[in-house]
Chains A and B, each alone.
Chain A
Amino acid sequence: MNAASLICSKCRAPLGGEFFNLGGLRPCSACAAPIQTEVFPALFRAQTAAALGETIVTEGEASCFFHPQKRAVVPCEGCGRFVCALCDVELNGQHLCPTCLNLGKTKGKLRSLENHRVLYDRAALLCATLPLLIGLWPSIAGAPISLYLCIRYWSAPGDYVRPGKWRFVLAGTLAVMEIIGWITVVILFVSK
């Protein structure tokens, strides 16, 4: 996106330079909606074209693992393979090959590439607490499911920004108490 992409969020009219970095609200020239726009040098930075791998011209030069005819420019910091400029992916200062990048994303090793997380601890807590709120009977199913989630996904990462196992602990404790309660009820019922 360049400067042309800066538009009024109400009428979608493009904003001129007189709106930039004023430190306060200014009415849009098209719809008069009060707008404050703070722009930074990245807005005016020219888009760099993707680098093409250079062809090997002299014998004995290191070649790219993926393109043997291209000259290697950097080793991958994940696997050590030589990669050409075309295959080199820079991520937060690290140089990686496409394979390592893909593996890092799918296996969750590259934390900065993670864009979705399933929160099993919250699911377990929900299964343990919701039956208590809507009536006790659903806990016959909810408590075992909660306990299963606690055991099966104990090592799974929890909340991305507030990590911790307390939800698993609380869910497990509640689930065990509910299961014990149901066992006691059944024993009492059978003994009568």
Chain B
Amino acid sequence: MSTAKEYTRLPGRGVRREGNFLITTAVRQSQLWLAADHVLLVDSTVTSQDLKRFYFRHIQALQLRKTWRGFWFNITFSLFTALFALFSSQVNDPVGFGILVTFAGVFGLLLLVNSIIGPTSECFIQTAVQREMLPSLGRLRTARKVFARLKPLIEQAQGALTNEEAQTLLREQLPESDALATALATGRRPMPAFRPGMTPPPLVRSNYRGAAHAWLFGLLTADGALNLLLIFQHNFALIVIQMFLILALVVMGIVALIRQQGSSLPPALTRAAWTALGYFVVCFLLGIAQYVVIVVQNPSVADDQVAMMRHFASIDPLLAPWLMITYAISGAFSIGLGLAGVLALRRFHGEGSVPPSSPVAQPPGPPPLAAPLPPPAPPDLTAGPASPPAPPSPPPAPPPHG
């Protein structure tokens, strides 16, 4: 079985993650390899390989979408670099300074690398029987390189199409499906037609109304107010309250993220929940940085959490600018995000649970055979047992004549 030089590796290396956004069940390294008549997708674990072949003559489409993931990575790395640099400028201890500068340097390096390798993308390959994501083409530059290499090979196997030719061919296919024509005109996915005997498809949207989001944004606003209060009243009790508040926030954040999946919540609310999650991560990392600073400056409190919290409570934010800046920024951000979320939620509730643009519709089913019967009337307990209703009394007898 001679396979030497049968495959050439295409640029790019990515990771295919399986599971949901909370739990990863499997991670596979994904690569693309080029052969004479097909492209091979190899998803590898440590001890196995899964292989998928896409023959040039069967490939229907290659799709590339530029994503904002790289941009958000850059924002996050910039933020951490700036924060750690700011902290390091406020610390006089040489060890603490060194640690914080190292953190700042690591995030700065990540920022540099992410900027150099360029914007991110998401790519798909489609054949008559499948549409497969290509995780190795996670960067726009790499994806373009690979597309430029694959396109001539596919065209050699099938022939080339210009935009006009593709539009003509699509128009020829369109009359086959009125639903598709409507969908292309409106930019919506066509709903499958319902036929008698067919199992109704599941609802596209859940009827979640945003209760968890209301809690999340309410708690965020409270957390912001508490942060601002801590600038002036920095004591042990308030710090303990804030700790529990943050715990509740994290729990509500996770619940909100789970509930918003498949719901009809507007994008503003779902993005606000994700932003809150990002904010928790930032707070967590800031907490670690503060912990490092305190431990470096006071090694005696490292083993006792209560002593550490008491020591932290004894710091006056008005005399420690780094703490005041942290409280001010996080307080303003929490209140801003919380109030924005509450307002968006109120607007959503004001508009009704279902925005007109969302495809919330019960699948068309057969009409009900008859109107539902009214519930039976409760028995009259004042009447005698099982006594039938009294017949209407006969009209009074006419008075006798004469």
Contacts and interface: CB of A to CB of B under 8 A. Distances in A.
Contacts of B183: 4, 13-14
Contacts of A157: 1
A157 B2 CA distance: 11
A62 to B, nearest CB: 31
A120 to B, nearest CB: 8
B62 interface: yes
Contact of B52 (A38, A42, A115, A119): A115
Contacts of B130: 1
A40 B63 CA distance: 11
B151 interface: yes
A36 B123 CA distance: 9
A7 B22 CA distance: 26
A16 B47 CA distance: 43
B9 interface: yes
A161 B33 contact: yes
A9 B184 contact: no
B24 interface: no
Contact of A30 (B154, B159, B187): B187
Interface string B37-71: 10010100011111111000111111111110000
Contacts of B180: 3-4, 14
A21 B40 CA distance: 23
A92 B167 CA distance: 31
Interface stretch (B13-21, B169-177, B323-331): B169-177
Question: Which of A5, A43, A157 has most B Cβ within 10 Å?
Answer: A43
Interface in B136-190: 147, 151, 154-155, 158-159, 161-163, 166-173, 177, 180, 183-184, 187-190
A53 to B, nearest CB: 23
A1 B128 contact: yes
A192 interface: no
Interface residues of A, number: 54
Nearest to A114: B51
B131 interface: yes
B47 A4 contact: no
Question: Which of B49, B131, B162, B163 has most A Cβ within 10 Å?
Answer: B49
A37 B63 contact: yes
Given A44-B173, A111-B1, A126-B46, A39 B61 contact: yes
B159 A41 contact: yes
Contacts, number: 164
B158 A41 contact: yes
A90 to B, nearest CB: 12
Given A16-B170, A17-B171, A161-B40, A7 B189 contact: yes
A33 B66 contact: yes
Nearest to B33: A161
A9 B167 CA distance: 20
Interface residues of B, number: 62
Where chain B touches its partner, the secondary structure class is: mixed
Contacts of B57: 42
B173 A5 contact: no
A37 B64 CA distance: 6
A34 B143 CA distance: 14
A59 interface: no
Interface string A98-123: 00000000000001101111111011
B232 interface: no
B127 interface: yes
Given A1-B131, A157-B1, A117 B48 contact: yes
B3 interface: yes
Contacts of A36: 63-65, 147
Contact of A47 (B50, B58, B59, B128): B128
Nearest to B122: A9
Given A38-B61, A39-B166, A44-B169, A13 B46 contact: no
Contacts of B184: 14, 16
Interface in A1-59: 1-10, 12-14, 16-18, 20-22, 25, 28-30, 33-44, 47
Contact of B147 (A4, A10, A38, A41): A38
Nearest to A27: B66
Complex A-B, nearest 3 residue pairs according to Cβ-Cβ distance, in ascending order: A17-B167, A30-B187, A20-B166
Given A1-B129, A21-B161, 19 more contacts: A4-B190, A13-B189, A14-B183, A17-B167, A21-B166, A22-B163, A38-B63, A39-B60, A41-B161, A42-B59, A42-B60, A42-B158, A44-B169, A44-B170, A116-B48, A119-B49, A120-B47, A161-B7, A163-B4
8 contacts: A14-B188, A34-B66, A36-B63, A43-B61, A126-B47, A160-B3, A163-B1, A163-B3
